[in-house]
Structure 1
Amino acid sequence: MQEHSHTLASALSADVQRDGFSFVTADTMRPLLQSSGDLSDWPAFSDSWNRLGPDPYLAAKGRFRRRRHATFTAAADGAIALAPHQPHYQALQYNALQGDIQRWFDPIEPSVANGASLQTILTFCHTFFGSLAPSVAQWHVEVHQFRIEANKDAAGEPTPEGSHRDGVDFVLVLLIDRHNIASGTTTIHTPDGKLLGDFTLTHPLDAALIHDPRVFHGVTSVTPLVSTEPAHRDVLVVTFRAKP
């Protein structure tokens, strides 16, 4: 199992080094995660997306999504620690809609932040991203729970800022659930707009691994398959940025 996971990780690492990104299907992502820990609380972990608070910054602009946020530190020796709750900040050059402001979101619930699934995901990211940047001594890690909702009157916008970079070193986008939605295709572009790839996260644990300085990423709007029923797309986004 460990040898197989090492082979999978090496192949993905080569993809990211060559292309700046990799699309990972659930049947590959699951053993990779399980080689880093366990997913024993996954039902409770995924259920926590039902308790996300609204994103007040987008709601003010007539767009709607739900989210929670947490910050961690990760040291080269492998230690990952939850940091005090703090705002999420992006420079205007990375987020034309909401850049240069401190945005406070509800914290990720302690049982989720300290639970097996999230700790396993963070351990995998730390090992994988650390292998791509072995000289980094300490990482600033941010974790975002997102739910994008759509209805018959308005499509849901997973990336309302459009194709963008996050202003970090590495990004994991992990699908948790999608219910009654069409589209939501992830697109990867060069800085000058050339399309490098596109794929749709369809099954729980489908993922994208992104080297943020090299490529832009975005997601197309989602619409309900059945207009009269609730529709949502749930993802976990984890970013790693080297501390100076």
Structure 2
Amino acid sequence: MSGGPIMTALPPVPASLGADLASKGFGYAPAMQTMPWLEGYGLKDWPGFAESWNNLGVDRFMADGGRYRRRRYAVFSVRCPEGQEPILTRKPHQPHYQSRDYNPINGGVERWFNPIEDHIAHHPAMQACLKAALSRANALTAPEKRPPSWHVEVHQFRIEAAPGMDGNPNPEGLHRDGVDWVYAMMVQRRNVQQGDTTITALDKKTPLGHFTLTNPMDVAFVNDHKVYHGATPVKPVVEDKPAWRDVLVITMRHE
């Protein structure tokens, strides 16, 4: 899908996604730090990218019977040659699967979601997010453990809220995803409150961090081997107006 030109220097990484992420197992970076980082990987036309969240399908695999989540899904294979931008190849469309060990609510079945539209998969904002996330994951992985290529799953999520219906980003609660790294980026919040992120140690009791993805391009990055993460339900601020939380999630594991 995308070549990997030789770069004289990779774009500067937000400080909290550097040493802090390596040592603590998670990092949070606000938009003022992530925007120049992503622009260094070619981010353009953010409004056109964000608009695509208005064209997602209902997630019909919610075991709680909820219809508050919309999504699209795509899978990539990504190589990270030394000194080059990551090379992205989109895989044929396939189901999303998590074991019940990681998702006791919705896991254990193949879940088929609408594919991410081709023009959004190729969009410079999506490409920039993928390249930035994979560059970080690769750099933070010990050289002897770096895979020849990464298996990358990309999710466009919209969580809707309405009077009497909270929108729950994580019905499974605090969780791990069964991958190596997780990148979560705020795309848009419209008329919602809460949706606060909590990070804990592997005992699920010791708090390590608490923050809210609020502005477009706020980013959380998680080492899935080291911590648990989760976000609280969202509620409408003004009850008679549409309310939603749009997020891009990229998970990365050894292929």
C-alpha distance in 2, partners of 1:54/1:106?
9
1:185-200 alignment to 2 at 5 Å?
A: 185-193=196-204, 194-200=206-212
Question: Per the alignment, do residues 60 and 199 of structure 1 end up closer, same or farther by CA in structure 2, a change over 3 Å counting?
Answer: closer
Decide whether the 8 Å contact of 2:63 with 2:105 is kept in 1: no
- The offset of 1:64, in angstroms, is 2.0
C-alpha distance in 1, partners of 2:72/2:203?
32
* Aligned residue among 152, 156, 159 for 1:148: 159
C-alpha distance in 2, partners of 1:4/1:71?
24
- The offset of 1:76, in angstroms, is 2.9
C-alpha distance in 1, partners of 2:30/2:16?
13
Tell me the residue number matched to 2:3.
none
- The offset of 1:11, in angstroms, is 5.1
The reply on whether 1:48 has 2:68 as its aligned counterpart is no
The letter of the residue matching 1:186 is: T
The reply on whether 1:205 has 2:213 as its aligned counterpart is no
Of 9-18 and 162-171, deviating more is 9-18
Tell me the residue number matched to 2:95.
87
Deviations 1:207-242 (A, max 9, x none): 101001110000001100000100000000001101
- The offset of 1:99, in angstroms, is 1.4
Tell me the residue number matched to 2:184.
173
The letter of the residue matching 1:28 is: Q
Long gaps (5+) in structure 1: none
Tell me the residue number matched to 2:23.
18
- The offset of 1:63, in angstroms, is 4.6
Question: Per the alignment, do residues 4 and 28 of structure 1 end up closer, same or farther by CA in structure 2, a change over 3 Å counting?
Answer: farther
Aligned length: 240
Tell me the residue number matched to 1:61.
65
- The offset of 1:62, in angstroms, is 2.9
C-alpha distance in 2, partners of 1:224/1:170?
31
C-alpha distance in 1, partners of 2:61/2:250?
20
C-alpha distance in 2, partners of 1:150/1:11?
31
Question: Per the alignment, do residues 10 and 180 of structure 1 end up closer, same or farther by CA in structure 2, a change over 3 Å counting?
Answer: closer
Tell me the residue number matched to 2:137.
129
Higher-helix-fraction structure: 1
Paired-residue identity, % = 44
The reply on whether 1:35 has 2:43 as its aligned counterpart is no
Decide whether the 8 Å contact of 1:188 with 1:216 is kept in 2: yes
Decide whether the 8 Å contact of 1:9 with 1:128 is kept in 2: no
The reply on whether 1:72 has 2:76 as its aligned counterpart is yes
Determine helix, strand or coil for the equivalent of 1:72: strand
The letter of the residue matching 1:20 is: G
Tell me the residue number matched to 2:107.
99
Question: Per the alignment, do residues 199 and 238 of structure 1 end up closer, same or farther by CA in structure 2, a change over 3 Å counting?
Answer: same
Coordinate RMSD, CA, aligned: 1.6
- The offset of 1:110, in angstroms, is 0.6
TM-score where L is the length of structure 2: 0.90
C-alpha distance in 1, partners of 2:103/2:63?
16
* Aligned residue among 168, 175, 185 for 1:164: 175
C-alpha distance in 1, partners of 2:77/2:11?
25
